[in-house]
């Protein structure tokens, strides 16, 4: 009788553990969710999703760049600067991170550093590219980017 009770208790505990909801992170879902928040201007929600995303995908320069962007839009400039550096350490030629970091420099009044990023983008985009053109406009004050 005790053996049957032990077996039943083991089966119940195994069943309960296997039916417990999984807390596993789905990075792809988090990234897409964050993109939706960014397009809507919901930067705090995007920042929260991206925080979870970069914990799961530590070597994704895109994730770090977007995380930095969300922080910059929330005026968390120290965090933004740190995360742009992380993105660029992972991929020194990451055009989006260079553009957005350049925009951060403009917002901080460091035009020389923003122009340095523009020069780096010019090297990466000999025939121009969207990132170069956007940063050039941002530096000149002709464009204020909302996303």
**Predicted pLDDT of residue 47:** 97
CA angle 76–124–56, rounded 5-degree value: 45
d(CA 54, CA 121): 25
Residue 7 has pLDDT above 80, yes or no: no
pLDDT digits (tens, 9 = 90+) for 20-60: 444 677 989 999 999 999 999 999 999 999 999 999 999 99
Instruction: Let me know: does 139 contact 119? Beta carbons within 8 Å.
Output: no
Q: Which domains does the chain have, with CATH numbers?
A: 25-92 (1.25.40.10), 95-142 (no CATH)
pLDDT tier at 18, thresholds 50, 70, 90:
very low
Average pLDDT value over all residues in the chain: 87
* pLDDT value, residue 96: 97
| pTM summary value | 0.79
């Amino acid at each position: 009788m005790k053996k049957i009770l032990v077996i039943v208790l083991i089966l119940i505990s195994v069943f309960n553990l296997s039916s417990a909801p999984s807390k596993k992170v789905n990075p792809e879902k988090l990234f897409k969710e964050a993109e939706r928040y960014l397009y809507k201007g919901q930067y705090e929600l995007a920042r929260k999703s991206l925080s979870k995303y970069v914990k799961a995908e530590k070597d994704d320069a895109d994730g770090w760049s977007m995380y930095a962007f969300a922080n910059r839009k929330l005026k968390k400039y120290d965090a933004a600067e740190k995360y742009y550096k992380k993105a660029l350490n992972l991929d020194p030629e990451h055009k989006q991170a260079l553009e957005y970091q350049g925009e951060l420099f403009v917002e901080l009044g460091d035009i020389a550093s923003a122009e340095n990023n523009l020069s780096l983008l010019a090297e990466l985009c000999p025939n121009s590219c969207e990132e170069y053109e956007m940063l050039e406009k941002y530096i000149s004050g002709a464009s204020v980017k909302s996303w």
